[in-house]
Structure 1
Amino acid sequence: MKILIAGAGEVGYHLAKLFSYESHDITLIDVDEERLAYADKHLDIRTLEGDATSPTKLIEANVEVTDLVISVTSNQSINITVCVFSKQLGCKRTVSRVSNDDLIKNKDRLDIKSLGIDEVISPEALAAEEMHLLLNQSGFTDTFEFENGALKMIGLTLRSKAAFIGKTVQEAAKVYPGIHFVPIAMQRFGTQYTIIPRGDTEFKRGDRVYFVTDDEGLEELYKLTGAEKRVIKNVMILGGSNIGRTLASQLSSNNYNVKLIEKNDKKALQIADSLPNILVINEDGRNVGLLEEENIEKMDAFIAVTENSETNIMSCLVANTKNVKKTIALVENMDYFQLSHNIGINSLVNKKLIAANNIFRYIRKGDLVAMTKLNNMNAELMEFKVKSTSLVCGNSIAEIDFPRTAVVGGVIRDGKGEIALGDFVVKEGDHVVVCCLPKSIKRVEKLFC
């Protein structure tokens, strides 16, 4: 696939890196010569210096034969302009990064597709939504919802009190009479190797495991894994960035008690004016004495979303020492993911990864509705819509030629999620959730084309 990315910042570079790993034809365009030089040195892509809003520069980038244009500069107006011009010049599909949540909420009323924009995304809004989900499923460290929660993906680390320990997948499934969850990926403690579990795969202490489950399965997993189901009511947010502001607004509207700490005077005042139902503290949140004065030990959750990853991690560690139940840190460095589970931070969120997941579905074949990459694992979780021409249509799960490095997590039919076993027959219109390793993606895509 031929892809043009406008903006060589953190999101654009990350997307270029991921796409280049899959041997796509990537062109990265930016006005910043240093950013492009770094990308050119580290990635096998074409770089082009210049203004992406210039039709001449877009033509030079061969936009007329480009399959996908992704504009992810830090300027919303530039991104919209790039997408509009690209579509008029012949590009097949466009995705624009935006910073205004109001635009995302009203994209259908505005009919942005008629302008030439196929999709708008906000990494900041996606990160805030991810954090909100993590609070709702407070006993787990990772979460993702399909079709408004009809099926859920949750991730956790198996502790010694988990009933799974020492049992195979098949043995664990027999503990409850109905099957409401299925393990889809696993990583042994101290390794980087991703396993797609089979019936004879044994659960061990320290395993990091991802499950797909329905609502009933969530309750079973809490009991079986020993995960503590915590009630989250009082939340402290460090950082008044777009993510912090968006998250505070969401939580406040859902009756959470929210304290937000922001050291910038002007920003703190703006947030206090726009969000009267939260307590805004205009101080430096890195001050441990301040956190103690603001009763951090009485908080159910502490969320750090400053622009500095190290500050976020260190402040979450301070919260841990005060026995805060749930800690979430915003980080930019992907290498921190493995570290976090060893030092005790509950969850890490990376907006680049979330944005990439949201965009990645446009390069996958088949009718792909949603997808996510599992944190710190070499696996993808994809939701396909079954067409009448799909090879899976009309066949039972057992009859479908799935590779051994892929597994069906569940099926959503008429809005209801089901854990699909071998005799489940797939029908047209079903949404099938599949987890697979990268080497199996092409085989899986062909099944749903």
Structure 2
Amino acid sequence: MKIVIIGAGEIGYDLASVLSQEKHDVIVLDRDKDCLDKVSENLDVLCHEGNATSAKDLVDTGVKDADIMIAVTSIDEVNMIASMMSKRLGAKMVIARIRSDELSRPNAPLKSTDLGIDVLIHPEQSAAQEIVRLVKRASASDLINLADGKMQMIGLRIGKDSPLVGKSLIKYAEEYPEITFRVVAISRRGLTIIPSGSVQIRALDQIFVLAKTEEIPDVVKTSGKPNVEINRIMIAGGTPIGSMIARILCREEKNWNIKLIEPDHDKAVDLAHELKDVLVLNGNPTDPDLLATEGITDTDAFISVTDDEESNIISCLMAKHLEVQKTVALVSKSDYIPLSQTIGLDAAINKKSAASNEIHRHVRGGRVISVTALQGTKAEVIELQAAPGSKITKKPIRKIKFPEGCVVGGILSDGSTDIATGQSQIQAEDRVIIFCLPNAIEKVTSLFK
């Protein structure tokens, strides 16, 4: 597949890296020579220096016969213009990253398709929604909705006093026969394990468990973590993500107690006018005196989403030191995510991974419904639909030879969900949730075609 990526920043670089490893023909266009040098030195892709809003440069890059054009520069207007021109020039599919919600609002005068954009990526909105889900599941380090929300995958950090320490996964399942669940991945000291039943759970492991949504609270209890009720929330940073979190929470029926701290006076005033149910404060969210004055010790959840990731981590560490139940930090470097939990943070969110997941789903195409990377690990969650006559539909799961490094988690069939077992028989058009390492993805998806 020929793929043109416009923008050699962090998202563009990550996409080029993954897609080139999957043997796609990748061309990266950017006007910044230093960014392109980094790409060409480290990745097996073609680079073209030029302007994304120039028709000549787009043609020279090969947009005319591109299967997919992906615009991920840091400027919305550039992405819009490049998308519109690329569609006119012949790109089969156009994907664009747009930070503003102007095109995605219900009453927007222009839709994304009017600008030639087939798929609109909104990383800030995805990150805000993920943070809200994590706040609602206070014990979770990760939470992913699957099978139209009927199943969830939850990440749990195993403490030294957890009753699960030292137990094999078989023993774990035997002790809780009333709950249907499956441990599908374990992150252990930087290693990602797709486990068998004999694998033992150790202290400080991060386990990823798949279960029906209504059974997730019961799964949390098995780990020994208390089911904490979150009511009082403090948000550090009136950034697009911070304001979106506040808007999402204010639209809900629950009467949240929300405080938002924004260092810029004019922005704080604007947010105070817009968010009537939120107490907006003007100040430095890393100032311990301000946090103490505003009652951080009585706060249930502290969310730091400023533009400075180091400040986000430091603020959350201060909050954790003051015994705040749930802390969530926004980080831009995905390498910080596994580190964040080892130093005491409950969860770290990388908005760029949300964009990469959505783009990757469309690049893989075919029977792929969703792709989500497990943050801080090398594993991915893939939701696939079985095609009529595909290999996966011809035998029970135990008789199918799956590649090493993959496990079938759940099945959505005719609206009902089940945890997969060796006896499960996948039918045509069933949706199947699979957890696998990158080197197994291509072989797994081929079983569903």
Q: TM-score range by the shorter chain?
A: over 0.9
Answering whether residue 19 of structure 2 is matched by residue 19 of structure 1, we say yes
Instruction: Tell me if the contact between 1:387 and 1:448 (Cα under 8 Å) persists in the aligned partners.
Output: yes
Instruction: Tell me if the contact between 1:140 and 1:227 (Cα under 8 Å) persists in the aligned partners.
Output: no
Aligned to 2:427: 427
- Over residues 307-350 of structure 1, what are the superposed CA-to-partner deviations in whole Å (9 max), with x where a residue is unaligned? 11110000001101111100000011222222212211000001
CA distance in 2, matches of 1:355, 1:154: 20
Instruction: Tell me if the contact between 1:303 and 1:316 (Cα under 8 Å) persists in the aligned partners.
Output: yes
- Count, aligned residues: 447
Instruction: Tell me if the contact between 1:365 and 1:446 (Cα under 8 Å) persists in the aligned partners.
Output: no
Aligned to 1:244: 242
CA distance in 2, matches of 1:63, 1:291: 51
Deviation at 1:108, TM superposition (A): 10
Instruction: Tell me if the contact between 2:102 and 2:108 (Cα under 8 Å) persists in the aligned partners.
Output: no
SS at match of 2:388: coil
Aligned to 2:173: 173
CA distance in 2, matches of 1:71, 1:90: 15
Instruction: Tell me if the contact between 2:104 and 2:112 (Cα under 8 Å) persists in the aligned partners.
Output: no
Deviation at 1:382, TM superposition (A): 0.2
CA distance in 2, matches of 1:116, 1:264: 36
The share of aligned pairs that are identical, in percent, is: 37
Aligned to 1:123: 123
Aligned to 2:51: 51
Aligned to 1:274: 274
Aligned to 1:144: 144
SS at match of 1:363: helix
Deviation at 1:110, TM superposition (A): 6.0
Aligned to 1:411: 411
CA distance in 2, matches of 1:107, 1:353: 28
CA distance in 2, matches of 1:40, 1:8: 10
CA distance in 2, matches of 1:105, 1:413: 33
Aligned to 1:198: 196
Matched AA of 1:339: L
Deviation at 1:22, TM superposition (A): 3.2
Aligned to 2:215: 217
Deviation at 1:83, TM superposition (A): 1.9
Q: 1:335 to 1:108 in 2, by over 3 A?
A: same
CA distance in 2, matches of 1:89, 1:283: 49
- Over residues 126-185 of structure 1, what are the superposed CA-to-partner deviations in whole Å (9 max), with x where a residue is unaligned? 111110111111111011111342111111121233332222212211112245210111
Matched AA of 1:276: K
CA distance in 2, matches of 1:299, 1:223: 23
Matched AA of 1:36: L
Instruction: Tell me if the contact between 1:366 and 1:446 (Cα under 8 Å) persists in the aligned partners.
Output: no
How much is the aligned-residue C-alpha RMSD, in angstroms? 2.0
CA distance in 1, matches of 2:117, 2:140: 36
Q: 1:7 to 1:404 in 2, by over 3 A?
A: closer
Instruction: Tell me if the contact between 1:365 and 1:445 (Cα under 8 Å) persists in the aligned partners.
Output: no
Question: Which segment drifts farther, 297-306 or 219-228?
Answer: 219-228
Deviation at 1:284, TM superposition (A): 1.2
Deviation at 1:85, TM superposition (A): 2.0
Deviation at 1:10, TM superposition (A): 2.8
CA distance in 2, matches of 1:266, 1:320: 30
Deviation at 1:236, TM superposition (A): 0.6
SS at match of 1:103: coil
CA distance in 1, matches of 2:348, 2:153: 16
Give unmatched runs, 5+ long, in structure 1. Answer: none
Deviation at 1:439, TM superposition (A): 1.6
Instruction: Tell me if the contact between 1:408 and 1:420 (Cα under 8 Å) persists in the aligned partners.
Output: yes
- Over residues 231-274 of structure 1, what are the superposed CA-to-partner deviations in whole Å (9 max), with x where a residue is unaligned? 11111111111111111111122232211111111211221122
Matched AA of 2:286: R
Deviation at 1:192, TM superposition (A): 2.4
Give unmatched runs, 5+ long, in structure 2. Answer: none
- Over residues 190-233 of structure 1, what are the superposed CA-to-partner deviations in whole Å (9 max), with x where a residue is unaligned? x3222111122222222221111113431331221112221111
CA distance in 2, matches of 1:289, 1:21: 49
Instruction: Tell me if the contact between 2:72 and 2:97 (Cα under 8 Å) persists in the aligned partners.
Output: yes
CA distance in 1, matches of 2:102, 2:391: 40
CA distance in 2, matches of 1:414, 1:399: 23
Deviation at 1:114, TM superposition (A): 6.3
CA distance in 1, matches of 2:107, 2:277: 27
Aligned to 1:156: 156
